[in-house]
Chain A
């Protein structure tokens, strides 16, 4: 599901602040740069508010954010809805005991880690990232949370690249985005 209808003017404002940088990080990729959104305090606040409106009062106790741009959007949402913030990180960044989930990249593999004990069984969780492309990272994030018995209520991203079919890869888990970019 994407935000639309009566949220249109806000969405349009947010979308207009996202900068597309061609050929980054490699030739052929049109990179969706959210840093320009962060330079506009109103648009950044609107972005957070749209997620907060959707998730407040839904008994969500965990907001998991994917390193590193999920760290920008996740904490403000967590603070507003009264949830804890759980960083999901690349390998060897989190100190202490972690659980790991490997996932497939276009070429090769990567790994996402979460602290043991950060999340209790039965907790209701959101996963937040700036963007969903193929859905690989979000899938790994959901796996980590489900492995410890949390319920992933929804994945939330600012931007979706629908041509990459990430939504299908989420295996029926709901996805909420503000902006679609084709």
Chain B
């Protein structure tokens, strides 16, 4: 399932709470700003509820959230479904032993890290971020989890930018989003 039915009144309120900022961080980019959603207590609550309704009772023991905006949505979902929260971070932020996955950016590469021992082989995981654009970051997160034997059940984002074809980049991994922004 790609996204929630437009008739769901919660979705339209969530969508309208998201602010679009032109030319950030560079000219030509229409930035999808979720901070205004976080200021709307009902819409933020509804956002979390929509994910919890989908993932509760599905034997998911891991919610992995991508730094930094995945840290905002991931933990409330994890707490509600009884899963652990695993932060996926930029390099040199996590103390102790980590595994790293390099991924491509438009220009150059970046690295994502996860703690060794945070997850066990066989666990079922969700990956959460505020938005999927090209899918590069989500792919790196999928790889990190799969490298240690975890089954990634689904990637979940508040917003998708379908023109950037991130969904295709995820291959066979399902993607669930609340709002599609063209």
Contact = CB atoms under 8 A, between A and B. Distances in A.
Contact of A35 (B76, B83, B115): B115
Given A68-B67, A71-B68, A85-B38, A76 B79 contact: yes
A120 to B, nearest CB: 10
Interface string B14-53: 0000010100110000010101001111001100100000
Nearest to A38: B85
Contact of B76 (A24, A40, A79): A79
Nearest to A96: B21
B78 interface: yes
Interface in A1-49: 19, 21, 24-25, 31, 33, 35, 38-41, 44-45, 48
B96 A19 contact: yes
A35 B67 CA distance: 13
A45 B71 CA distance: 16
Interface residues of A, number: 38
Contact of A68 (B25, B33, B71, B96): B71
B94 A35 contact: yes
Contact of A85 (B21, B33, B44, B85): B44
B92 interface: yes
A48 B35 CA distance: 21
Contact of A33 (B33, B44, B96): B96
Interface residues of B, number: 38
Q: Chain A: interface secondary structure?
A: mixed
A182 interface: no
Nearest to A67: B68
A79 B68 contact: no
Interface in A38-83: 38-41, 44-45, 48, 67-69, 71-73, 75-76, 78-79, 82-83
A68 B90 CA distance: 11
A79 B115 contact: no
A75 B115 contact: no
B74 to A, nearest CB: 8
Contacts of A31: 95
Best-buried of B40, B79, B82 by chain A (most CB within 10 Å) = B79
A87 interface: yes
Interface of A: 19, 21, 24-25, 31, 33, 35, 38-41, 44-45, 48, 67-69, 71-73, 75-76, 78-79, 82-87, 89, 92-96, 115, 118
Given A31-B95, A89-B68, 20 more contacts: A33-B95, A35-B115, A38-B75, A39-B86, A44-B79, A67-B68, A68-B71, A69-B71, A71-B72, A72-B71, A75-B44, A75-B73, A79-B41, A83-B41, A84-B40, A85-B39, A85-B72, A87-B35, A95-B25, A118-B35
